[in-house]
Amino acid sequence: MKAPGSRASRHRDLLTPLRPHVDGAAAPSTRGRWPRRRGPGPRRPPLPLLAAASIAATVSLLPLLYLGVRALERGPAFAWDVIAGDRVAELLLRSLGLAAVVVVASLAIGISLAWLTSRTALPGARLWSVLATLPLAVPSYVAGFAWISADGELAGFTGAALVLTLVSYPYVYLPVTAALRRMDPAQEEAARSLGHGPLAVFRRVTLPQLRPAAAGGSLLVALYVLSDFGAVSIMRYETFTRAIHTSYKASFDRTPAAALGVVLVVITVLLVAAESRTRGRGVHFSTGSGAPRLVRRIALGRWRWPALAWSTAVAAAGVAFPVGTLVYWLTVGNSRTWEPDLLLETTGNTVLVATLGAAATVALALPVGVLAARYRTRSARLLEQAAYAGHAVPGITVALAMVFLAVRYVYPLYQELPLLVAAYTVLFLPVAVASTRAAVLQAPPVLEDVARSLGHGPLAVLRRVTVPLAAPGIAAGAALTFVVGMKELPATLLLRPTGMDTLATRLWTETGTASYAAAAPYAAVLIAIAAVPSYLLGRHRT
């Protein structure tokens, strides 16, 4: 042991005032000593935050209770025979292969568009930013029909990968753009002043700081692909979700379908665990004065036209082509295919349920996102993984789980609006959690330490410091949840109150009978409503 007056002791005392700038921890107070911490937050999360996150995790785990009951209904041996069969191994390879291709393509499109619209002098950056988010409003089954009707050879893996990439890359684009907005440009400017080119600066400085947002977006894309039913059905590509739906329709025996659902949940847990390891332990926040500075946009020079061509191609494939197909349907139709009163009613119902679902989802996602960003305890990791559990379960399974629980335990909620909102929360909680976590990671935790040193409790710090700092990411999560809630189909079909239709259910009803001209107005209104949050998000990113 070193003596108090030794050289090592003196050096440790001299470095103490610098620790807030080194590891984000607060300096020791004159009134007492903060407990030693390993990362940018207290080692033990406060109990109110844990309690709130536990509620979110419990809601997300409700479908697992249903799957467990159904899967074991005929005994563990029968369930194991279903899971261990060759068909499950084939479905696993096909589903994971499709998810991997779509994730890689979505990363390439989402990150490149986010950088072009946020960091470069791309002509019409605000327009491209809005267009980049619009594919979220296009239901996968509508996009799939648009492409398969143009080229029947796309059926299969190629068509499914194309459609799912075009409708899901905004899950990467939005959080990455939000991260770029909050990133201090000083480091990039310093790198350029040292002679590094734009690509070198992006690879060495910008991209490492985007890792949490990109990883969270990739996870959402993967889970979306695993749970999608519309695109794979239109493209006739067999995956877990299509097999589960076929099993549900083919027999009254729910055990095989439930066993397949359990496999999807296991895949989800593994994906969440893998994604959490990719975040690393690096610091993703700035500890400067916090004064916002305008970003000096990079002149594209000779790359201007290739950048414009790339942005145009993505917008044409993801937005112009499906919209052009809708325009064709609208022109083919006539006055008999238009029902203004019904269109107005379904629009109001859609906005209502999507707003309630987004509000409930964001409220439950906030404590989970804060835990995931600030604390590295085992309980925090488990609660975050639990929040993702319901996202990879197909919507029809979540809906049947809600029906099962309502009929047995809370019958007054059966076919009532709260049950539909609860299903939306289970399905879309990861969307809000990923955006919230990425935003909180970029907020300097030293400001929270200062608030705690002034006597504020955990909830006061959350309300006055953390939430305002993470507001852009939380808003992005709310907008994403609202948009995907509007086009949600299987759960809405089963859980909506009697006599209540949404734009998605009416669209599915009309397309199910090949009445594409009658379905076109509902699809057009879906895209038009989604353009509002897309425009607001895009306007503040350029």
Instruction: Name the residue among 84, 177, 70, 249 with its Cα closest to residue 442.
Output: 177
pTM of the predicted protein model: 0.71
Tens-binned pLDDT, residue by residue, of the chain (542 aa): 444 444 444 434 433 333 333 333 444 443 333 344 444 444 577 788 888 888 888 888 888 788 777 777 777 777 787 777 778 888 889 999 999 999 999 999 999 999 888 888 888 888 888 888 888 778 888 888 788 877 778 888 999 999 999 999 988 998 888 888 777 676 776 777 777 776 777 777 777 778 888 888 888 899 889 888 878 888 889 888 888 777 776 666 667 777 777 787 788 778 877 776 665 544 444 444 444 456 677 788 888 899 999 999 999 999 899 888 888 888 876 555 677 888 899 999 999 999 999 999 999 998 888 888 888 778 888 888 788 776 667 777 788 888 888 888 888 888 889 999 999 998 888 888 888 887 888 777 777 778 777 877 777 777 788 888 888 778 878 887 888 888 888 788 888 888 888 988 888 787 766 677 787 888 888 878 877 776 665 555 44
Give the dihedral of Cα atoms 506, 507, 513, 517; nearest 10 deg.
120
Rounded to an integer, what is the distance from CA 5 to the centroid of its chain?
54
Map residue 120 onto helix, strand or coil: strand
Using the structure block, give the residue that is written with the tokens 């050096």.
11
**Cα distance between residue 435 and residue 366, in whole Å:** 10
Phi, psi of 288 (to 5 degrees): -80, -160
Instruction: Name the residue among 358, 369, 311, 284 with its Cα closest to residue 529.
Output: 358
Query: Which residues 6+ apart lie within 8 Å of 469 measured at CB?
Result: 439, 440, 443, 444, 447
Phi, psi of 120 (to 5 degrees): -120, 165
Locate 42 and state its tokens.
């207290």
Q: Where are the domains of the chain?
A: 42-280+320-539
Using the structure block, give the residue that is written with the tokens 């191609």.
313
**Cα distance between residue 442 and residue 286, in whole Å:** 7
**Cα distance between residue 116 and residue 118, in whole Å:** 6
Q: Note the CATH number of domain 42-280+320-539.
A: 1.10.3720.10
Instruction: Name the residue among 466, 464, 474 with its Cα closest to residue 358.
Output: 474
Residue 367 CB coordination number (10 Å): 25
- Assess contact for 479 and 431: CB atoms under 8 A: no
Question: Kind and range of the H or E element at 468?
Answer: helix 467-469
**Cα distance between residue 397 and residue 405, in whole Å:** 12
